[in-house]
Amino acid sequence: MKSFKEDKIYWDSNRRENREGLKAWLNPSRYGWERISYWLQRLTGVFLLIYFVGHVIETSSLVDGKDAWNAMLELTQTTWGHLFLILVIGTSTFHSANGIRLLFTETGRGLGKPGRPDYPYSPVSLNYRQKSGIWIALILAATAMLYGANILFAGE
């Protein structure tokens, strides 16, 4: 059986010609809500990973004693720091809620059944469940951000 790895045509540099490249990742328009969800899931994922690495590093100041911890808090517990944290709350909520939807769909659940396609060929996989799932994720993210803002700025 031919594997992709063994087939030398896959190493041909000409194969990159006329590829959309990063434009395909970064432009979520033209193809509907599922494409926007793909874009947001990827962006939020990268953002959260960066935040996670930063968070592990910032909390490590705990081992250097109270002064180091307070110095770190002074840097992060500011208005801009809180706004950044609100963004983290929103992105993590969206990534989680949309991730649960994707967990179902990417394992073949909630997509509908294949059948005889009839004109005008409305794809069953892009059904109301997907769209409402994306909208629920967006609404949950907005709600979490509002709640987070309320808590973060209430103490100021």
Partner 1 sequence: MIALVNIKNSRTNLEHDQKKESEIASNRKVIHLRVYRKNPKQGKSSHFDKFEVPVQRWTTVLDALLHAKGYLDNSIAIRYSCRMASCGSCGMKINGIPRLACYTKVSEIDENIITCEPLPNFPIIRDLVTDFSDFFEHHRAMEPFIHNPNADIVDKNSLTEFIQSPKDVERYLQSSYCIKCGLCYSACPSVGTDTKFPGPQALAQAYRYFADNRDDATQSRLDIVDTKHGIWRCHFAGSCSVVCPKGVDPALGIQLLRGHLVSFSKNDKKLAESRTRSLGKI
Partner 2 sequence: MLMLKESQIMKIHYISGVAALFVVAVHILIRLPVVTGMPFSMSLEYENVVANYQNIAYAVLLESMLVLIAIHGFNGLRIILLEFRQNIVWENGVTVFTLVAMIALIAYGTRTILIANGLG
> Do residues 94 and 43 touch, judged by C-beta distance below 8 A?
no
Where are the alpha helices (H) located in the chain, listed in sequence order? 22-26, 33-59, 66-76, 79-105, 128-154
Nearest distance from residue 133's CB to partner 2, in Å?
Answer: 15
What is the C-alpha separation between 49 and 55, in angstroms, rounded?
A: 10
In Å, how far from its chain's centre is CA 129? 19
Q: Which of 56, 66, 116, 154 binds partner 1 (CB under 8 A)?
A: 116
Binding track, positions 14-53, relative to partner 2; x by CB under 8 A: ----------------------------x--xx-xx--xx
Query: If contact means CB under 5 to 8 A according to the sort of partner, which of partner 1, partner 2, none does residue 118 touch?
Result: partner 1
Which DSSP category does 124 fall into? T
Nearest distance from residue 30's CB to partner 2, in Å?
Answer: 20
Q: What is the largest CA-CA distance in the chain?
A: 69
User: Could you list the residues that contact partner 2 (CB under 8 A)?
Assistant: 10-11, 42, 45-46, 48-49, 52-53, 56-57, 59-60, 62-63, 66, 69-70, 73, 77, 92, 96, 99-100, 103, 107, 151-152, 154-155
